């Protein structure tokens, strides 16, 4: 039962289009994350936020941008989609500070750019 929601689940879009992947959580978590995963590969952190108006880039360089205007909402935007952006994008959140706070993931958005 998911408390973190991602839409759309699947998206096929042409090159050059602007897209926004939505992520919302109902748990009141301060910390939110975006991971990117290609099939058979590890999850790579591309963006994270520790709270409203806080955003940071992750370990993997990404052309996407994020915003955190409300605690529950952490959308990811690609201004001009390219085939190299084809991947699965996973949003996650966590509650507590410190080391013992596992991430809760949404079901992901599978993006295909043609």
Partner 1 sequence: DQQVKQNSPSLSVQEGRISILNCDYTNSMFDYFLWYKKYPAEGPTFLISISSIKDKNEDGRFTVFLNKSAKHLSLHIVPSQPGDSAVYFCAARRGGSQGNLIFGKGTKLSVKP
Taking CB under 8 A as the rule, does residue 31 contact partner 1?
A: yes
52, two tokens: 């409203």
Q: Which is nearer to partner 1, 17 or 72 (CB)?
A: 72
Separation CA 15–CA 2 (nearest Å): 31
| Cβ-proximal residues to 15 (8 Å cutoff; 6+ apart), any chain | 80, 81, 82, 83, 113, 114
> What is the footprint of partner 1 within residues 65-94 (CB under 8 A)?
90, 92, 94
Taking CB under 8 A as the rule, does residue 101 contact partner 1?
A: yes
45, two tokens: 């952190």
Separation CA 43–CA 1 (nearest Å): 22
Of 14-22, 35-43, 61-69, 78-86: span binding partner 1 (CB under 8 A): 35-43
Q: Which residues contact partner 1 by CB under 8 A?
A: 2, 4, 6, 9, 31, 33, 35, 40-45, 48, 50, 58-59, 90, 92, 94, 97, 99-108
């Amino acid at each position: 039962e998911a408390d973190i929601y991602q839409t759309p689940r699947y998206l096929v879009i042409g090159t050059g289009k602007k897209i926004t992947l939505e992520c919302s959580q109902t748990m009141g978590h301060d910390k939110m994350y975006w991971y990117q995963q290609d099939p058979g590969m590890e999850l790579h952190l591309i963006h994270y936020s520790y709270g409203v108006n806080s955003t940071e880039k992750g370990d993997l360089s990404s052309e996407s941008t994020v915003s955190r205007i409300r605690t529950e909402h952490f959308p990811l935007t690609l201004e001009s989609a390219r085939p190299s952006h084809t991947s699965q994008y996973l949003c996650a959140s966590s509650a507590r500070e410190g080391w013992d706070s596992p991430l809760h993931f949404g079901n992901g958005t599978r993006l295909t750019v043609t």
